[in-house]
Amino acid sequence: MRYFAFWLSLFIFGACTGSPKDTRPDLRTLSWPRIEKQAGGTTVYMMMWQGDPLINRYMAEYITPTVKERYGINLQIAPGQGTEIVKTLLAEKEAGRQASSIDLCWINGETFYQLRQIEALYGPFTDLLPNAQYIDFGNPFIGYDFQQKVDGYECPWGNVQLAVIYDTTRTPEPPRTLEALGQYVRKHPGKFTIPYEFTGMTLLKSWMIALAGNPDALNGPFDETKYAQLSGQLWDFINQNKAYFWRNGNTFPESLAATHQMFANGELDFTFSNNDSEVDNKILQNIFPATARAYVFDSGTIQNSHFLGIPATATNKAGALAVLNFMISPEAQLEKMQPAVWGDGTVLDLEKLPAKWRNRFENTPGRRYAPRRQEINEKALQEPAPEYMIRLYRDFREQVIEN
């Protein structure tokens, strides 16, 4: 039995030696060149949604090699989004781990809110980044994330607006109101569905605002009565029409990629994108037919930004900052904006940019199939408070899918 006790003690001893405490100086006291120097030659672990081949390619073929070349940083990307990031960091907290497995993560809205709640984010840090001077923080769609002030705890990375994608040959006159959509669905059974993921839930928020009849209806903190009333109407609308949805509304696709694929195959008449110019990049990739177009409902759709955050327990904050600073640099933002690359809207304020860069942004060959940005800007709705998103995820599951 002595041996067993020995092994056991070895195991327990092993279990108790936590990670070493971070003894490096506080980054806030360092100058940017010192931070860059500290970042050199390190590995940065980034967790992000990997549901789009183009975005993955932008990261793998542009960001990763460039930071490697300039700073010697080895950027490693792991898949994970939203709640997964929250739960990973919560589990690390529960285990009392001082060193997170993540250095940088792609977040927004309800994820940001939950991470702030469990105090898992590092910050404020945006003022440390030299390139943050160009960011358009004055724009409420950029400086606020789901009604929460960003406060330097996450850095804007891209700005987009939800758009509906359809094929002009199949649907010459797409429905522009909720009512028209209801009629369309009944006339064309099986051709419509709502993806049960971030984009689909964002669509539902746009509809809730449409049902309220006032673009500012959901601004301000979470309001239970308002939510109950509007979501009730929403579930009624969906459940009344559900029988005419794809697969009779018994199933909803769980990924946007799958929804895109079914649209491309002609199985669905509509797909959605949180990125108003995605239709361009999908046509360029030959995934969507060249007759595909995007539009925004008359009642408007949500415009929001997506952000990058650094966990409070990240072991390589200097590396994360260096990568982040590059990701918001004019060159990386311009590259990201090309429809053939990703087509993601920039968070930079062109007025603040040096003339040389402003020129390049203004003269870059733009979108051909997506609606014009100024046009849909007028129909942009602000993101409601994060609790709406959290509740919609749960209630859509309970009220629609499992009903």
**Residue numbers at the binding site for another protein (CB under 8 A):** 1, 3-4, 7-8, 11, 14-15, 17-19, 45, 47, 50-53, 56, 60-61, 76, 78-80, 82-84, 86-88, 90-97, 99, 101, 114, 118, 190-191, 196, 247, 250-255, 257-258, 260-262, 264-267, 286, 390, 393-394, 397, 401-402
**Smallest distance, Å, CB 291 to another protein?**
15
Q: How far apart are CA 336 and CA 130, in angstroms?
A: 19
Please say which residue, 99 or 217, places its beta carbon nearer to another protein.
99
Please say which residue, 84 or 223, places its beta carbon nearer to another protein.
84
**Smallest distance, Å, CB 53 to another protein?**
5
Contact 205, 218 (CB under 8 A): yes
Helix-helix angle 32-39:317-327, to 10 degrees: 110
**Smallest distance, Å, CB 192 to another protein?**
12
Find, among 243, 285, 244, 247, the residue nearest to 264 by Cα.
Answer: 285
Q: What is the DSSP string of 346-394?
A: P-B-GGGS-HHHHHHHHHS---SSSPPHHHHHTTEEPPPPHHHHHHHHH
Give, for 167, the enclosing helix (H) or strand (E).
strand 163-167
Apex CA 303: angle with CA 146 and CA 67, to 5°? 85
Please say which residue, 286 or 363, places its beta carbon nearer to another protein.
286
Contact 347, 159 (CB under 8 A): yes
**Smallest distance, Å, CB 267 to another protein?**
5
Please say which residue, 111 or 147, places its beta carbon nearer to another protein.
111
Q: How far apart are CA 244 and CA 234, in angstroms?
A: 16
**Smallest distance, Å, CB 256 to another protein?**
9
Please say which residue, 91 or 228, places its beta carbon nearer to another protein.
91
Q: How far apart are CA 52 and CA 328, in angstroms?
A: 20
**Smallest distance, Å, CB 12 to another protein?**
10
Please say which residue, 80 or 345, places its beta carbon nearer to another protein.
80
Q: Enumerate residues 6+ apart whose C-beta is below 8 A from 224.
A: none
CA 315 to chain centre: 24
Please say which residue, 134 or 198, places its beta carbon nearer to another protein.
198
Please say which residue, 260 or 379, places its beta carbon nearer to another protein.
260
Which residues, in sequence order, are bridge partners of residue 202? none
Q: How far apart are CA 320 and CA 44, in angstroms?
A: 6
Q: Enumerate residues 6+ apart whose C-beta is below 8 A from 231.
A: 208, 391, 392, 395, 399
**Smallest distance, Å, CB 186 to another protein?**
16
Cis peptide bond upstream of 124, omega within 30: yes
**Smallest distance, Å, CB 378 to another protein?**
33
Please say which residue, 41 or 79, places its beta carbon nearer to another protein.
79
**Smallest distance, Å, CB 141 to another protein?**
27
**Smallest distance, Å, CB 137 to another protein?**
29
Contact 48, 80 (CB under 8 A): yes
Q: What is the DSSP letter of 276?
A: T
Helices of type H across 275-329:
278-284, 317-327
How long is the chain? 403
Please say which residue, 15 or 355, places its beta carbon nearer to another protein.
15
